[in-house]
Structure 1
Amino acid sequence: MKHCVVTTFHEAGYQQYGKRCIESFLIKWPDTVSMLVYPEKTSVSFSEPRLQLIDPLVALPKLQQFKSSYYDNPFANGTNPIVPEQTNNFRWDAYRFSNKVFAVTDAIRRCHGTFDQLIWLDADTVTHTVIPEEFLDKMAPNARQLAAYLNRRGYPECGWVGYNLNHPEILNFANRFEQIYLSGEFLTFKENHDSYIFWEIVQEMEQAKKATFKELGSRWQTGHIFIKSALGKYVDHLKGGRKIEGRSKERDTLSFTRKLPRFLKQSFSK
């Protein structure tokens, strides 16, 4: 399979974790894998053939349209619509996470027809162990699955999502993802960050029998599912204070392999 990776970050994020994400990617990922980077008003110091730097201000007019429409809407900028006194909450911060949404949809279209799998990788990840190409193949959705994601109890962890670029519904997925934000429909959902909207589309497509999906996590687990999954053998997701510490906490790594599907058990144990 042919794989490519996409990520995005702002200036502070680049300095704190994005630089480390790119550097570890270049060292630890197979040479055959490319990365698309959408830096938000940020100068990136890397210049490598495997990296494609894409300016969101130029390449993502729909993102700029969304930001122009909702930059001053409190319910798109962290305010709880049920308890308006509660602000700065990521669950209702569509404006912040829109950079990720429109980078993903643009990358799907750019890579469609050239690659088999597009992997969204949060920039606050670090690859600590060399990744075999066959592992990427194993984590990828199969021919009938539109995406592979880290499921857990409730909405998923979207620090890693593998998209099947050969699926007949992949472009419709990208259009739907964008339109939920551009139309303002995101304001009607219980939460409006990217992971919650992704989860709503997954359920919508499954119910309509338009697509199936591969689950990489565990329905019994909550919280920091990334490091507990098979992905944790190669990549660490530095959520929250872990960005400063540079690694996940010891309690994060407690194994749940006895509850994993067989194909993931095998990947985790190798």
Structure 2
Amino acid sequence: MLLPNPWQREKLSHIVVTTFHEKGYRDYGKMHRDIPHSLAAGHLLVVYAENVEIEEKDRRLLVFDHDETLPRLRDFREAYGRNLQANGFRPSANGLVRDFRWDAVRFSNKVFAVADAIRRYHTMVDQLIWLDADTVTHRDIPRNFIDKIAPRGNQLAAYLNRRIYPECGWVGYNLRHREILTFVERFEGAYTSGYFQTLKESHDSFVFWKVLQQMEGDGEARFKPLGSNLTKTHVFINSVLGSYMDHLKGDRKQDGKSRRSDLKWNRREAWWQ
């Protein structure tokens, strides 16, 4: 079954997709409990849950078992689970050092979940929104806002650009784009083929960026920027998304809120006061 019964009789304009494991769910995944109510009507929240029982129940919430639903991810982990380079380790003068920029295994969850969801829903829904689980929705998000920032026409995705590789805590995918499955094959294929090992960095945001550059360079698709080329740090809250959401990157999860010092412009929403 692709959709819960009530949704088989209704038109979906967009779906929101995320994933988390048990610790992530306990630490921050429950922040998503308000999303079915705060996002505009006409959407579904799809969670790829890894070894965790989701307590929340809602007619607009669909939960997939991570291990059962993502066999390609399982194969990838079996192939690279003991590979030091694929797990973020690189040799240095002081021995092995670990850095998230090389941790393909850690960030592959998002890639394979996005790929699976796009394949499932690309003939049924207009837009798929990837939203990291460590995100707080602090204000109801109106339908016209979702429509305004959605990718249209030859725009394959709307994304948070910045001075370096993108921030992929939010990506809106145009499921009606003629090359959407081409994008999926290249995004996921960078991992399944081992191509990620040849790249300067191998986390999902860097790989997304390389696929974007290739497709724009070849004239296959355009991508809609929602961020800013003036910053290379916390672009999520310094974009239009910050009016409605907060992304608790890194140790901000412990505080339950991003820092005022993260803001590069004056926000008037109550959350930021």
Q: Which residue of 1 aligns with 2:204?
A: 194
For 1:56-83, what per-residue CA distance to the aligned partner results, in whole angstroms no more than 9, with x for missing partners?
A: 2111110001000000000111113677
Q: TM-score under structure 2 normalisation?
A: 0.90
- Structure 1 residue 210: deviation in Å? 0.5
- Structure 1 residue 253: deviation in Å? 1.9
Question: Within 5 A, what are the aligned runs for 1:17-166?
Answer: 17-20=28-31, 22-80=32-90, 85-166=95-176
CA distance in 2, matches of 1:98, 1:83: 28
CA distance in 2, matches of 1:17, 1:101: 20
Q: Which residue of 2 aligns with 1:268?
A: none
Contact 1:147/1:213, CA 8 A, preserved across alignment: yes
CA distance in 2, matches of 1:88, 1:137: 40
Give the secondary-structure state (helix, strand or coil) at the position aligned to 1:102.
Answer: helix
> Quick one: which of 12, 15, 20 aligns to 2:23?
12
Instruction: Give the total of aligned pairs.
Output: 256
Q: Which residue of 1 aligns with 2:6?
A: none
Q: Which residue of 1 aligns with 2:8?
A: none
CA distance in 1, matches of 2:147, 2:118: 18
For 1:2-46, what per-residue CA distance to the aligned partner results, in whole angstroms no more than 9, with x for missing partners?
A: 0110000111100011111x2120231123210110011111001
More helix per residue: 1 or 2?
Answer: 1
> Quick one: which of 11, 14, 17 aligns to 1:3?
14
Give the secondary-structure state (helix, strand or coil) at the position aligned to 2:249.
Answer: coil
Q: CA RMSD, aligned part only?
A: 1.5
Change (3 A) 1:153 1:81: farther
Q: Which residue of 2 aligns with 1:214?
A: 224
> Could you list the runs of 4 or more consecutive aligned residues of structure 1 that deviate by over 6 angstroms after TM superposition?
none
Change (3 A) 1:31 1:96: same
Structure 1: runs of 5 or more not aligned: 258-270
Question: Within 5 A, what are the aligned runs for 1:228-243?
Answer: 228-243=238-253
Contact 1:24/1:128, CA 8 A, preserved across alignment: no
For 1:186-222, what per-residue CA distance to the aligned partner results, in whole angstroms no more than 9, with x for missing partners?
A: 0000000000000000001011110010000011111
CA distance in 1, matches of 2:220, 2:75: 29
CA distance in 1, matches of 2:264, 2:76: 40
Equivalent residue letter for 2:129: I
The alignment status of 1:181 with 2:203, answered yes or no, reads: no
Q: TM-score under structure 1 normalisation?
A: 0.91
- Structure 1 residue 181: deviation in Å? 0.3
- Structure 1 residue 85: deviation in Å? 3.0
Q: Which residue of 2 aligns with 1:262?
A: none
Equivalent residue letter for 1:148: A
Contact 1:112/1:166, CA 8 A, preserved across alignment: yes
CA distance in 2, matches of 1:73, 1:85: 16
For 1:147-175, what per-residue CA distance to the aligned partner results, in whole angstroms no more than 9, with x for missing partners?
A: 00000001000000000000000011011
Q: Which residue of 1 aligns with 2:259?
A: 249
Structure 2: runs of 5 or more not aligned: 1-11, 268-273
